[in-house]
Copies of this chain bind each other. A is one copy, B any other.
Amino acid sequence: MTQTNCGTSAVVLFSGGQDSTTCLFWAKERYAKVYALCFRYGQKHATEIEAAGKIAKMAGIKFHILDASFISSLSSCNALVNSSIVMDESKPEQGPPNTFVPGRNMFFIGMAAVFAFHHDADVIVTGVSQTDFSGYPDCREPFILSMNETLNEAMDRQFRIETPLMYLDKAQTWALADSLGVFDLVRTETVTCYNGVKGSGCGHCPACLLRNRGLKTYLKQRDVKTE
């Protein structure tokens, strides 16, 4: 993870949220060329894509939007792509929450790999995290490892999926953004909130609760250090 990769190109799955923005700057520090890939797939909030474009511009990284609306056509019955469904605020006892879009990360990573195939990039960076996986099976490391092998077999290439946040909690992700010099940018410019509110968000959706709890913890740790 700390090696230098002169000449290597990386494709970052980039939604404009806290996690993928941190990954974008992480990749920028490591790879000679970085592509930011954003997916349009019937999210309820266009503000997410706008925020992503603005952040990529601030980072000086070329921004590509890929149409992945087939994902919502396949699964029109979940809460992230259908406003008439009230989303689960926490993980149910059994199974994933109704914000789970089956196959989403598989399609995103697969599309990023085809983009990488055509742009001679061999690294794919995604901000998934097993620590805060919220019941989504496709955020766990076994999925990522299997997906990596599948990509290599499918296209006869040696891709490498990098997941810098896999074992970080949200406080540690804030610390990483800070160490990359983008703490304020991530705090004010990103959209993590399920209700599409930029920065600190709506404050009550599961994504906001997780983000704000992590921020509080990190700020406390930082205060202790600087005292």
Contacts and interface: CB of A to CB of B under 8 A. Distances in A.
Interface of A: 66-70, 73-75, 77, 95-96, 102-103, 105-107, 110-111, 113-115, 117-118, 137-138, 140, 142-143, 146-147, 149-151, 153-156
Contacts of A146: 146, 149-150, 153
A137 B153 contact: yes
Contacts of A151: 106
Q: Which of A74, A95, A111, A147 has the most CB of B within 10 A?
A: A74
B73 A70 contact: no
Given A75-B114, A114-B75, A118-B75, A106 B154 contact: yes
| Contact residues of A: prevailing secondary structure | helix
Contacts of A140: 153
B138 A102 contact: no
Each complex incorporates copies of this chain amounting to: 2
Nearest to A137: B156
A206 to B, nearest CB: 19
Contact of A68 (B66, B70, B95, B138): B70
Given A70-B66, A70-B111, A154 B96 contact: no
Contact of A70 (B67, B105, B147): B67
B118 A102 contact: yes
A118 B77 contact: yes
Contact of A155 (B110, B138, B156): B138
A102 B154 contact: yes
A150 B145 CA distance: 9
A77 B115 CA distance: 12
Contacts of A107: 107, 110
Nearest to A73: B67
A139 to B, nearest CB: 10
5 contacts: A103-B110, A103-B117, A103-B155, A106-B151, A138-B153
A137 B155 CA distance: 6
A117 B111 CA distance: 21
A154 B118 contact: no
B74 A111 contact: yes
